[in-house]
Amino acid sequence: MTRQFSSHSELPGIGYGFFEMEWHGETIWMHEGSVPDGSSLMMLVPEEHLGIFVVHNMVSFDASEFNHRVADYLLSHLIPGNTKTRTPSNFELSKNELKAYIGEYRSKGSFTTQGDANKMLNLLPFFQVRVQLNEDGTQLLAGESSLIPLGNDRFAVEEKLYDIAFGRDEAGKVNMMYTGSPTPIMKSREKNAWFDDYRLHYVLWGVILAISIGAAWWFPIQRWFRSRKQEKTKESTLLLPQLACTIGWLQLLFIGSVIVFFLIPSVQDLFWGPFRYGIPLPLRIAGLLPFAGVLLSIWLAIQSARIWSKLNRFQRLGFVLVASTGIGLIPYLAYWNWLSLPWS
């Protein structure tokens, strides 16, 4: 059994149908899988002529962790001379060298590739791994785990049985992080640029939501105030508020549909499986709403420009914000690969 691919030259890779992993100096080939009602794990140790198979139908806990604990217990008893103590590293990096690895890394594995709609899942914090210095600046931390330098951009994860390695771009800057776990292909992470910080995008979505809510209630509130004052309004002057109201509701329906979809328990259980095996019809329909919104936003911008001198400052600002949001939502969704939802 030989390695066919590795995400990083310093880490284990993958063969035909089996993932390579290191266990106390031993090369092990494994494959695991699960369904809603069960889980299994197979491990092969060619040099020891040893194989382990774990299968069960218990689903009330972390099945993968249970499988590996059972296999780890069996391996520690079946392969003599191995212990659970990892050899400490004498390799050291200066504080300035450690700073090169600092940043937030977003998942770029098989279910969150940059080429499909799952890219937006990177806005969820638990898809991010933050690498930072400890308090005295002498050691890197990945989440709550300490990273022990081994050289060649490889680090041992303290109290874990796997390593991680960092990749660099052509300019020599750190831009990727790879996990040497049993499934390295699904553990590739890309270093976030400042404009990909999920906190920034939470603010942007908050602004979009606020403008959409304001636009959705603009027309009803305006009609209510005018009815209180018993003012008669020409229907022609109501076109712009009606357009703004419609755009606002289209955007709210789209945002609401996405939120509801992510909250469906069956989707959570399958780890957003529908994104891998087909977009549900309701979400496909919801994906058409931004296209309707951009057409109405262009119409709103044209009509506002025609009577610009007759509008007060509040109306000008409101119509500009609504039209800009409706038009700007299209390139924003294109960046996150969501324009293809109706046709995915």
Reported as half-sphere exposure (CB side, CA atoms, 13 A), residue 342 has a value of 12
Q: What is the pLDDT of residue 92?
A: 84
pTM attached to this predicted model: 0.69
What pLDDT, on a 0 to 100 scale, did the predictor assign at position 72?
A: 83
So what's the pLDDT on residue 81?
Answer: 62
Convert the pLDDT of each residue in 64-115 to its tens digit.
778 888 888 888 888 876 555 555 567 788 899 999 999 998 877 543 344 4
Mean pLDDT of the chain: 80
The residue among 74 and 122 whose pLDDT is bigger is: 74
